[in-house]
Structure 1
Amino acid sequence: MTELLFSEADLAHVFLDTNPVAVVKQAIIKVNESLKLRFNPNHSPAGLLNEKAQFIDNLLTASWKHFLGDHANKQALIATGGYGRSELFPYSDIDILMLLNQDFSDNIQDRLSGFSNFLWDIGLKPGISTCFVSECVALASQDQTIFTSLLEMRLINGSTQLYSELQQEISASKLWSSERYFLAKMSEQEQRYSKYYDTAYNLEPNIKEGPGGLRDIQVISWVFKHHYNAQSLRELIKYGFLPKSEYDDLVSARDILWRLRFALHSTTNRCEDRLLFDYQRELASLFGFLDHEGNPDVEQFMQFFFKTVVNIERLNEMLLQLLNERLIQNQQHLTPTPITASFSSIAGYLEVSHDEVFQENPLALLELFLLLQQSPSLKGIRASTIRLIRKSLPLIDEDFRQNKAANSLFINILRQPRGITHQLKRMNRYGVLAAYLPDFANIVARMQYDLFHIYTVDEHTLFVIRNLRRFALNRHSQELPFCNNIFLLTPKPDVLYIAALFHDIAKGRGGDHSSLGEKIALNFCKQHDLSRQDSKLIAWLVRNHLLMSMTAQRRDISDPDIIHDFASHVGSIQYLNYLYLLTVADIRATNPSLWNSWKDSLLKDLYIATHRALHRGLQHPVDRSERINDNKKEARRELLKLGIAKKTMTQSWQHLSDDYFLRYSADEIAWHTIAIAASNEDDLPMVLLRPQTQRGSVEIFIFTRDEAQIFSICTATLDHLGLTILDARIITSEDQYVLNSFQVLEQSGEPIADLYREVHICDALRQSLKEKKVRASKNIHKQSRQAKHFPIETSVTFIEDTSNKHTTIELITTDHAGLLSTIGRAFTELGIHLHDAKVTTIGSRAEDMFYISDQNSQPINTEAERQHIRSTLLRYLNSKN
């Protein structure tokens, strides 16, 4: 005990002071500062946690005696939860139970209120429960969370008789039988896991509640303690649940999480259990990680964290399975049922027939996963066999990897009709996948430090395979029916799974991961005797897995030339089917928030257009004039059905360029035509909104006289309204009218669903265009809290346009409110004409494409002009940032 850890006697004297609240607050600050100064990230903070609990004990005891006086020994003050375990982090909640004697009176109520108010006044924020023994028992019998908190209760001060009475009632098996309590805890853990997408690999993990976090260890402790009345986790060794080596692993992993949690509390000066971006770099430095050969300190730190929680997750799985056998299964169910010479089934779990199975037959390390796929009644692998798998991993050496029988087994696993995702996840969790594929070991627990990839590379890879598997299953057919239909056209799904397994395998190596991954995939195909045709397709998919998403999001897919170029690169409908499915599965597995109806529609449109081009034959490309005439004909049919006269169409279309009819669909042309025909000069600027387009987005259409800064004013207004701009098309007619349309969604990724909101958006845009400025108002475009941790260097690149119609600018920068408006102002100063904009935001990274020309609609090709554009854009963006 240090001199700052005030004794009960020291704290009792506080109440003689004229301002005890201020004195105690100062004491708490001194203790927290002392703990922070003495914290060493390389050593266990167990002693400091105990010390903080002891200080709070002394403080509460002194306060209890002061406020209750003679009644202090007749009631009981009890610590529960983490405080009951004496594991008190610097800013942990203080959970206490005030257990009352049956002779309770109003006088005591006033004293208890004074005690409670004092705790709040000094800033403890306690969790206080007040009840009689009978009430407490009744509540605990109904609610397992209350029962759990009482399992770890500890008397701080007061009546030992009351405490003993409650302790005796709580420990009675009739309150919660071991079986009932175990099942309740399993259900609770399942619900907790689902909040974190059933993965420990989250971008900003919760080190207490997330899978593999401290709560996983506590669940083991609670179930074990309840059944065996055990005093510590060390008794897991005594009862044969863990060998000492695994117990040491468990304690070591818990110690790492304790150190991290203590550091988080000390860094934030609050009860913070989330490993947010705001603290990851600081903690990486605190824990001694340094940048090394392109491997950033923060990525090393997060990999260290993820490997820790995966170890806890695995031990949690094993221990709960063993506890299930002891607590629920009867002896009859634990009788082995032989399946093969090497394996038996015990209580529905796969178990080795004897401890030398893997030594005698190393191939059994793969066989058991195939056996699980082929035996639907099996629930998993028995804990003792998981332990043996981990111990036997060194058997998966180079000779094993070169063994054709092993290769055949691995491919067979990928070709099974069921269980592929489940078994690959198990293989990854137990270390088999990394042992069999050394290149995969490099991406295990590897986090990419950005806002785009929210899972580690290995977890993302397995999610991609899971998404591909869902396309094959009827029960998921309504999620993405188009994908399910195309999946039926893929003759070899295993080719897709192998491509998915290798598409990101070269991440973190430096260089182009797609081309590096292609080489690794080819070596795998060769070793596993895949056909030349399948090997070629897998390698092509790995190298081109980003091609379709980049084309859809960054190119004008209404242009037949773009479609022809893409179709030429793909080459066949078979390759298109495989690439489309891999692309959708990849995006959906990268970050669930990135997938929306707009992306779905863009990729589907690109697929359909490319399919037509390939079906027609690349030697017969769609002519631009053919596409324009088709759009006009279809639009005329639509308008005639609606009673619009041909003369009206001719008048509305007479000054529109071919570009307009190429880039808009027939239904869009019809909608615009009706609006333009019904308007006159006094109605301008005209602003219309369609809440649901064919692409699942909201289209805002603007028709007005061409003037400077229209694009800038529109984008600034939409940004102020909190809308996400997905696409912008800018058409100027020969008589100097502009037809601008913006595809937008709410920031949530949802369409605009409120009529009042639609009217407000149109009114705000119309007003801004009339006044030629954006009204000052609160910008409701929410800036991501995490974005400031990912500053992206601005780059302006000119991309050659083979048609030489426009000049294409690729601009990459940090996304921020008003970005497009700022770019629009720069274009106005430069006096250049903007024809189109493709807007892509990936996490905090904006990757936007702008199609421009000079005032004479000519491309800008001289290096001097391009350099001037580049420097002007950088000046505007740097001043904004």
Structure 2
Amino acid sequence: MKTADSNSPDYNGILSSAEHIRSLREHIQQHNEELTGRFHAGIPAADLIRARSDFMDELLGACWNHFLGPEAQQLALVAVGGYGRRELHPYSDIDLLILLDAHCSSGARAEDSAYRQSLAEFFNLLWDIGLKPAHSVRTIDECVEQARQDLTVITNLMECRLLDGSPALFKELWARIGPEHLWSSREFFEAKMAEQAARYAKYHDTAYNLEPNIKEGPGGLRDIQIIGWIIKRHYNASNLNDLLLHGWLTEAEHGELMQAQHFLWQLRFALHTLTGRCEDRLLFEYQKELARKFGYQDPNVNQAVEQFMQRYFRTVMGLERLNEMLLQLFKEAALHRDEDAVILPINKNFQAVNNYIEALHPNVFREQPLALLQIFLLLQQNSGLLGIRAATIRLIRQHLYLIDEGFRSNPEACRLFMEILRQPGGITHQLRRMNRYGILAAYLPAFGHVVGRMQYDLFHVYTVDEHTLFVVRNLRRFALEKHKAEHPLCTEIFQIIEKPELLYIAGLMHDIAKGSGGDHSTVGARIAGDFCQRHGINRRDTDLVKWLVQNHLLMSMTAQRKDISDPDVIHEFATAIGNQETLNYLYLLTVADIRATNPNLWNSWKDALLKELYLTTRWAFRRGLAKPLEQQEKINEVKSESLALLRRLGISDRTIENVWQMVNDEYFLRYLAEEIAWHTVAISACKPGDLPLVLLRPVSQRGSAEIFLYAKDQDFIFAYSTAVLDQLGLTVFDAKIITSADGYVLNSYHVLEQTGEPINDHLRQAQICSRLRACLQHPSCTPLRVHRREPREIRHFTVPTQIYFHDDPQNRYSILELVTTDRPGLLSKVGQAFRQCDIRLYNAKISTIGSRAEDIFYITDHQDRPLDIDLQKRRLSEAIITLVGPS
């Protein structure tokens, strides 16, 4: 135990005082405040976490001696885990082991009960003063048995440190947990590798989630600790400085490792002091304050956060590289040193050693700079190779400076890079490896600017470089038969793509200008054009790549914000694309992009919507853009298809006519034939006592559940029904409102669960229909206010409410665009505003992007005319803002 200095309190006096608990609490609080003050004054966290560890040593030692005294020599008080390493952040767990002599366990002697009572009092005091220790009480045999079975236990024991009690007992424990008795160096290494792989998988194999865990996430503190544990197990090393002594790290690498550890320690210490608890997640609510504390100032607060987080992501990316290299080096040089290596020549620069590629000599890259690209092509061409030898990874990183303008302009370098993109396999793996080792950022400087760059919103959940590589991965999956079940149409289209490498280039370039200050699509198209020109791509293909980058959002915006049942919308979209080949490329890029933006963003609704837009546009090309489908022709086609479906169901023409005479031609433009058939059957069978009619089918042609309401028209139907759907936790993607000639409404909503899952449970379906029917029967009893908890993240990403009015080319409606924060009850509030202003709603396209709602409403006044008076628009805008809020 650490000896108290002259500034230490009289622990004996405190502990014997009647108010000892209050006194100790105050003493701990005072120490915590002192550490926090020193941290804000600029003292490094590395000094402070050791100071807190020393403080705890002193405090625990005094408490131990008070309750057990020096005579308790059959016990030992041992610090384990992070506390054993003397790394104790303000709210870190205090991990303790009470080591018992074998004779003290299991009540072997009556006098041992005194120890048990004293231990209980010892731990009760620790809890009373707020320490909340994580502790275990074991004999040496029990420790050994637990360690043999549990990797976590042996890892904690490897860092044990005697605080007080029996040195002999502690020494015996240390001797019995050595690698010669259990968990040999090789067994420990292999188990830790499996543990790290499982931990990485838990965090989706990326350190670049927008709310990363700085301890457990890839590239976090755990990646540093795992290096220390493995080296310690093999060499009995005391700290990371021993990596230098054993030749595992160069001075530069050791400096990088220590600098990264310093930054993450600073960050963790700041998180603990900011939150007042053991918090290791960089949640949105802390990022702005942490950015300020770390000196990132910008008039645009979001920009400051993005700069701060880019530093974090680049730090953990560097740690991932070091972790990979060191563990690979350890495996080669320590675990397999005495084994016979299988060495096979590859070419004049490289050989394979035990299926890992290795540079033939340290000067390979200096003499042949192009080998910095060649090595990745060789990995693709030799599928038996498992990776790169650690010493060669180090050489790659040491020679990145060779990739300069001359290198980038070298025709052979350009050929090698294009060969990598043209290979039949390994493209994703090698691009990821090139990014991890810094090659991609060096070869494509514009890409280097987006490495580690986040966007402070809820939509883009990965950094730009990670998102980009996910896009390329998704494109590659379309090429592989084993992934066909995920996207059959994409796989089918990919087979007819003439030059897949153009698609990969567009994927690499589509967001490369994020953060450049201009429109990223326009700037990105220019960068893509320069890339294509430098890499010898012909003019036609270059124009295609540039167009794809410039317009990579066109298809998703059209599908989600426009009425794709309108022939004019399809003709406009097809005209913008120009030909079938471009449509194929754009569809594949769009699906890959959306799926790589946010795991929760892709759902069956978006899948069906994009597929419908693709197929409809493909038909427009086959028909010929010079002969666009006229609205009446579309109406006749839909009627004919619907009629055929209904006749097959045995519905008479007279019954069909009775239903259809109550709706206008607009109805046949906006609904699919199978939807019309469903509605017609339901309405024709409906008796007055069945109203209001509420039907739900779990899977529609558009991939979502469809809810159909048929009822007498009344005020606030849209407001009330959407309030109920929201309260039930459903996400509305599309709403169509039809009022029949005899005063009935035919409303349909396309919905999914908020998780994006379909509504498959029959009880759930019945609940939805029952709640909606009750709402329509007794609207006055239905609260318009939605009582559903707002997601935690929303309050950090409020969006100013903006309202725009657009003209409908056919002058049928006014088109209202609402951009605001997505909150519970939003659609219901909009519906209330419509009713207050005598507005009729005909169609709604609902799109939520993170915390941002971008909804489109097709509306008229109460006489079915577009809003042509500014006063009407201003009154409606004010009503919406009053109900929805300014943000």
TM range (shorter): over 0.9
Structure 1 CA distance for aligned equivalents of residues 247 and 633 of structure 2:
78
Q: Is the 8 A contact 1:727 1:743 kept in 2?
A: yes
- Of 166, 191, 201, which residue of structure 1 is paired with 2:173? 166
Residue 770 of structure 1, CA deviation:
2.3
More divergent stretch after superposition (15-24 vs 668-677)? 15-24
| Corresponding residue number in structure 2 for 1:233 | 240
Structure 2 CA distance for aligned equivalents of residues 203 and 96 of structure 1:
34
| Corresponding residue number in structure 1 for 2:204 | 197
| Corresponding residue number in structure 2 for 1:528 | 535
Structure 2 CA distance for aligned equivalents of residues 204 and 722 of structure 1:
24
Deviation by residue 1:790-821 (Cα, 9 ceiling, x = unmatched): 12111111223222211111111111011111
Q: Does 1:44 align with 2:51?
A: no
Residue 300 of structure 1, CA deviation:
0.6
Q: Which secondary structure state, in structure 2, belongs to the residue aligned with residue 96 of structure 1?
A: strand
| Corresponding residue number in structure 1 for 2:34 | 34
| Corresponding residue number in structure 1 for 2:673 | 666
Q: Does 1:154 align with 2:123?
A: no
Deviation by residue 1:454-477 (Cα, 9 ceiling, x = unmatched): 111111101100010011112222
Q: Is the 8 A contact 1:5 1:55 kept in 2?
A: no
Tell me: CA distance 1:780–1:370, structure 2 relative to 1, closer, same or farther (3 Å).
farther
Deviation by residue 1:195-230 (Cα, 9 ceiling, x = unmatched): 111111110010000000000000000000000011
| Corresponding residue number in structure 1 for 2:310 | 303
- Of 481, 484, 508, which residue of structure 2 is paired with 1:477? 484
Structure 1 CA distance for aligned equivalents of residues 492 and 618 of structure 2:
14
| Corresponding residue number in structure 2 for 1:746 | 753
Residue 118 of structure 1, CA deviation:
2.4
Structure 1 CA distance for aligned equivalents of residues 41 and 461 of structure 2:
27
| Corresponding residue number in structure 2 for 1:693 | 700
- Of 127, 132, 149, which residue of structure 1 is paired with 2:139? 132
> Structure 1 length normalisation: TM-score?
0.97
Q: Does 1:73 align with 2:70?
A: no
Structure 2 CA distance for aligned equivalents of residues 41 and 581 of structure 1:
54
Q: Is the 8 A contact 2:2 2:57 kept in 1?
A: no
Residue 415 of structure 1, CA deviation:
0.5
Tell me: CA distance 1:651–1:389, structure 2 relative to 1, closer, same or farther (3 Å).
same
| Corresponding residue number in structure 1 for 2:404 | 397
Q: Where do residues 314-713 of structure 1 align in structure 2 (5 Å cutoff)?
A: 314-334=321-341, 336-713=343-720
Structure 2 CA distance for aligned equivalents of residues 509 and 225 of structure 1:
45
Structure 1 CA distance for aligned equivalents of residues 882 and 493 of structure 2:
47
Q: Does 1:853 align with 2:857?
A: no
| Corresponding residue number in structure 1 for 2:810 | 803
| Corresponding residue number in structure 2 for 1:60 | 60
Structure 2 CA distance for aligned equivalents of residues 553 and 740 of structure 1:
19
Structure 2 CA distance for aligned equivalents of residues 221 and 825 of structure 1:
62
Q: Is the 8 A contact 2:70 2:165 kept in 1?
A: no
Q: Which secondary structure state, in structure 2, belongs to the residue aligned with residue 743 of structure 1?
A: strand
Deviation by residue 1:765-810 (Cα, 9 ceiling, x = unmatched): 2222222246359956442211111121111112232222111111
Q: Which secondary structure state, in structure 2, belongs to the residue aligned with residue 39 of structure 1?
A: helix
Structure 2 CA distance for aligned equivalents of residues 369 and 822 of structure 1:
56
Deviation by residue 1:488-530 (Cα, 9 ceiling, x = unmatched): 1111110100000110011111222111111111111111110
Structure 2 CA distance for aligned equivalents of residues 821 and 5 of structure 1:
67
Amino acid in the other structure paired with 2:836: E
Amino acid in the other structure paired with 1:157: D
Q: Which secondary structure state, in structure 2, belongs to the residue aligned with residue 311 of structure 1?
A: helix
Structure 1 stretches of 5 or more lacking a match?
Answer: none
Structure 1 CA distance for aligned equivalents of residues 647 and 324 of structure 2:
67
Q: Percent identity, aligned pairs only?
A: 53
Residue 389 of structure 1, CA deviation:
1.7
Tell me: CA distance 1:211–1:41, structure 2 relative to 1, closer, same or farther (3 Å).
farther
Q: Is the 8 A contact 2:571 2:620 kept in 1?
A: yes
Residue 448 of structure 1, CA deviation:
0.6
| Corresponding residue number in structure 1 for 2:187 | 180
Tell me: CA distance 1:694–1:7, structure 2 relative to 1, closer, same or farther (3 Å).
farther
More divergent stretch after superposition (188-197 vs 381-390)? 381-390
Structure 2 CA distance for aligned equivalents of residues 490 and 824 of structure 1:
45
Structure 1 CA distance for aligned equivalents of residues 832 and 265 of structure 2:
52
Structure 2 CA distance for aligned equivalents of residues 721 and 341 of structure 1:
67
Tell me: CA distance 1:856–1:256, structure 2 relative to 1, closer, same or farther (3 Å).
same
Q: Is the 8 A contact 1:452 1:843 kept in 2?
A: yes
Structure 2 CA distance for aligned equivalents of residues 614 and 12 of structure 1:
90
Residue 482 of structure 1, CA deviation:
1.8
Deviation by residue 1:79-134 (Cα, 9 ceiling, x = unmatched): 10000001000000111111111222333223222222222222222211111101
Residue 292 of structure 1, CA deviation:
6.7
Q: Does 1:718 align with 2:725?
A: yes
Deviation by residue 1:575-621 (Cα, 9 ceiling, x = unmatched): 11111100000000000100011111111111111111111111222
Q: Is the 8 A contact 1:713 1:774 kept in 2?
A: no
Amino acid in the other structure paired with 2:466: E
Q: Is the 8 A contact 2:306 2:453 kept in 1?
A: yes
Q: Which secondary structure state, in structure 2, belongs to the residue aligned with residue 124 of structure 1?
A: coil
Structure 1 CA distance for aligned equivalents of residues 155 and 323 of structure 2:
18
Amino acid in the other structure paired with 2:433: R
Residue 641 of structure 1, CA deviation:
2.7
Amino acid in the other structure paired with 1:124: L
Residue 351 of structure 1, CA deviation:
1.9
| Corresponding residue number in structure 1 for 2:223 | 216
Residue 353 of structure 1, CA deviation:
1.6
More divergent stretch after superposition (235-244 vs 776-785)? 776-785
Structure 2 CA distance for aligned equivalents of residues 773 and 278 of structure 1:
39
Q: Is the 8 A contact 2:528 2:545 kept in 1?
A: yes
Q: Is the 8 A contact 2:376 2:430 kept in 1?
A: yes
Residue 624 of structure 1, CA deviation:
1.9
Q: Is the 8 A contact 2:786 2:825 kept in 1?
A: no
Q: Where do residues 826-841 of structure 1 align in structure 2 (5 Å cutoff)?
A: 826-841=833-848
Structure 2 CA distance for aligned equivalents of residues 321 and 846 of structure 1:
47
Residue 13 of structure 1, CA deviation:
2.5
Structure 2 CA distance for aligned equivalents of residues 793 and 511 of structure 1:
21
Structure 2 CA distance for aligned equivalents of residues 621 and 469 of structure 1:
35
Aligned pairs, number = 880
Structure 1 CA distance for aligned equivalents of residues 28 and 388 of structure 2:
49
> Structure 2 length normalisation: TM-score?
0.96
Q: Is the 8 A contact 2:722 2:827 kept in 1?
A: yes
Q: Which secondary structure state, in structure 1, belongs to the residue aligned with residue 662 of structure 2?
A: coil
| Corresponding residue number in structure 1 for 2:86 | 86
Tell me: CA distance 1:5–1:186, structure 2 relative to 1, closer, same or farther (3 Å).
farther
Residue 877 of structure 1, CA deviation:
2.2
Deviation by residue 1:313-356 (Cα, 9 ceiling, x = unmatched): 11001100011113332445446533111112223222222222
Structure 2 CA distance for aligned equivalents of residues 293 and 656 of structure 1:
52
Tell me: CA distance 1:780–1:753, structure 2 relative to 1, closer, same or farther (3 Å).
farther
Q: Is the 8 A contact 1:713 1:773 kept in 2?
A: no
Amino acid in the other structure paired with 1:692: V
